[in-house]
A and B are shown apart, each in its own frame.
Chain A
Amino acid sequence: MGKLYEPALPKLMEAMATEARRMKGMDRRNFLKGGIAAVAGLSSVQIISKVNASSNLPPNLPEWQSHLGPGVVSKPYGEPSEFENLQRRTVPWLTVDAASSISMTPLQDLEGIITPSGVVFERYHGGIPNVNPDQHRLIIHGLVERPLVLTMDDLRRFPSVAEIRFIECPANGGMEWRGAQMEALQFTHGMLACCEWTGVKLSTLLDEVGVKPEGKWILAEGADAAGMSRSIPLHKALDDTIIAWGQNGEALRPEQGYPLRMLNPGWEGNTSVKWLRRLEIGDQPWHHREETSKYTDLMPDGRARRFTWVQEANSVITSPCPEKPCKQPGFVEIRGFAWSGRGKIKAVDISFDGGVNWERTELKGLVLPKALTQFSYKTKWTGQPWLLQSRAIDETGYVQPTLRQLRDERGGWSIYHKNSIHTWNVTESGDVFNVQIS
């Protein structure tokens, strides 16, 4: 019945309510049912007139202002307006099966540096396990003085931290190595998200178990069907690794490792093992599948880099972009994100002519280490074509490279760590296309 009180028929509803008041109590329900069914038949013409957008515009009274809306707790867990279309999306031909696949964050629709938990990109190697937190355990063992089993309650007793950090799949942009391919920002750069993560520093847990002097590496293992496992060097664990249970102010989402995940800030997302069940301390790395067969970087000479953990400085313009074209000439704020796995973003420059000349942008809002950072440039678009680019510089002085510079080092057939300057072609019509300049 709830829905029946929402149609754009305030006057009819009012008339029916008045009519119903005159009836005896026992008949009222039947009247409302029959009355509304009859109304549904005769009112279609009126509904069409009511959804005519102009009738909600000034000087008219908007439909939604002319009656009460739903009350508190009508949605105990809220969701975006029905008029929004905020969604993770995937490119299904990339992978054979959805349980071992990836989806992308809708960067084109984000309004700040925090990615809402429900649209954080997904990467699974064996689907999402449905973990009961009461039956979940973290075991820490190996080269330690005191091997421990920790419950979720145990973990929450440790001193906690909360940090805003990005997480990025090293394959972000990977479809663009060989040429421009994806005609949407969501697919060129969307294996990226930035959240506030709450948990305990791994170094705190390591103090608790007491790492033996010969302990130099940590195997992190997930409780998913893939038993995801990665070798993490002790120096990272002692630096800034978080064992997180919170994301954006609530428990982790199942997609993000509920109830417990590792987070290695600034490092390739795959090292941030989700559904974390075990940490083993050892004296050497394990060389497991995801750090040998995958997530290594084959170079043109046939040799391969391994332990390519850091996500180097990168940036992209999010407005305009293919999903958000220039709709009309005049003032425009060019906006985008920059991020670096080595620390803070120091500056972002933009070019309108494909990288011949560059201008400085302003950084907006919070500028945090290893976090998405917003940049802004105010200008006018008068229908002239642009080859729009952005270029991030991080606090180490590293300058985001051109595609040619990256290909000169790594060839054109790499998969991971493509952080080169990206180009949007804004055409005379205002439509925006993905192009590559080499």
Chain B
Amino acid sequence: MFKSLSVASVFFSLVVSGTLLAGPLGIGTTATDEVIAGWDIDVRPDGMGLPVGEGSVAAGEGLYEAKCASCHGLFGEGEGRWPVLSGGEGTLDTLHPEKTVGSYWPYASTLWDYIHRAMPYTAPQSLTDDETYSISAYILYLNDIVDDEFIANKETFARVKMPNEANFYVDNRPDAQNERCFKNCADPKLFEIVTTINGVTPTGHFKEDSGVAANHYEGNPSAASEVGTSNEISTTKIVFSDTAVLGEGVYDKACQACHSSGIAGAPKTGDKTAWVSRIEQGMDILNVHAINGYQGEDGVMPAKGGNMSLSNDDVINAVAFMVESSR
């Protein structure tokens, strides 16, 4: 309540001068529709947030193979340990549950939202709305949720029902009930005592090392199983060219996701054996393959690693970094 009419009228004259009533503390600037629109990218199961535009399963196939398959596999089966997108039906109540888009995800909208905000991994928010519709449609098709004629748009997409939707329920913990017992609370004769397996934990910082890598650049799941094979990783110090020095930053942001682990047949940086035949082709061919994309015997190199925001020079520099690290 205002103490007097005059105070109220002063207050009123202050607030009507803005387009919006100020909050209790009057801090901040009005967020205009235009400002909000640029950042308001979220999509909800009821279709809220889905933009105008459309995409087909057919268009999605090419996009998926160029931008997604190098990690997620040609059929959504997952390369290496990158996420599996398809299959897994009927496994959720088994000892080896496979949680894929088709077997687990409760809402199709999540697919659109996530692809659009965070994929491809090395180039988030680089896909157009139509591309996102197409890739989403194709992944639904890989999961037998839509047929190959499906056209995804604001209306059709919001109507897609996912098979596992009904199997989610709200947290009902606390579940496990323990008692604060003090004497004879368990029967030691029934104890089954399980110890750890050697060679799983990096313990070099406090005891004789178990040989397990302590960071991603030393090793990864596939590399760990390859210890002792002929794929030798170079550990000698390398003097880099200026081009390669420029390329290191690009490599860290855009290339190492695949080239440090060797997924999708990517030659691992530092793996001389894997690189020797490639280097023999000459830098020009390597650069062309890296810029335009390349389907090789071992796997697929997406154009610019799937990150179209990179300039050709960025890619050339990164190639130089990888080559010089690997010979």
Contact = CB atoms under 8 A, between A and B. Distances in A.
- The 9 lowest CB-CB distance pairs between A and B, nearest first, are A302-B93, A208-B23, A227-B117, A401-B176, A302-B92, A147-B31, A148-B28, A98-B216, A399-B178
Nearest to A98: B216
B28 A413 contact: no
Interface of B: 20-25, 27-31, 35-36, 39-46, 48, 80-82, 92-93, 95-97, 99, 101, 104-107, 109-110, 113-114, 117-118, 121, 124-125, 167-188, 191-197, 200-203, 205-206, 210, 212-221, 224, 253, 256-257, 260-261, 263
Interface string A420-438: 1000010000000111111
A229 B117 contact: yes
Interface string A291-302: 011001110111
A184 interface: yes
Contacts of B97: 298, 302, 413
A95 B219 CA distance: 11
15 contacts: A92-B213, A92-B215, A181-B201, A183-B196, A183-B200, A183-B201, A225-B118, A229-B117, A289-B118, A301-B93, A305-B169, A305-B171, A310-B171, A347-B180, A358-B185
Contacts of A417: 173
A101 interface: yes
A409 B184 contact: no
A398 interface: yes
Nearest to B118: A226
A89 B104 contact: no
Interface of A: 85, 87, 89-93, 95-101, 125-127, 139-141, 145-150, 154, 157-158, 179-184, 187, 207-210, 219, 221, 225-227, 229, 277-278, 280, 282, 284, 286-289, 292-293, 296-298, 300-310, 312, 322-323, 347, 349, 353-359, 387, 391, 393, 398-402, 405-406, 408-410, 413, 417, 420, 425, 433-438
B124 A393 contact: no
- Please classify the interface of chain B as helix (H, G, I), strand (E, B), loop, or mixed, using the class held by over half of its residues: loop
Contacts of A434: 195-196
Given A91-B202, A96-B220, 10 more contacts: A97-B261, A183-B196, A303-B92, A304-B104, A307-B171, A356-B188, A405-B178, A406-B176, A410-B175, A434-B196
A391 B263 CA distance: 43
Given A150-B27, A287-B109, A307-B171, A93 B206 contact: no
B113 A289 contact: yes
B42 A229 contact: yes
A413 B175 contact: no
A257 to B, nearest CB: 17
Contact of A322 (B169, B206, B217): B206
B27 A157 contact: yes
Given A226-B118, A409-B175, A92 B214 contact: yes
A219 B93 contact: no
Contacts of B125: 227
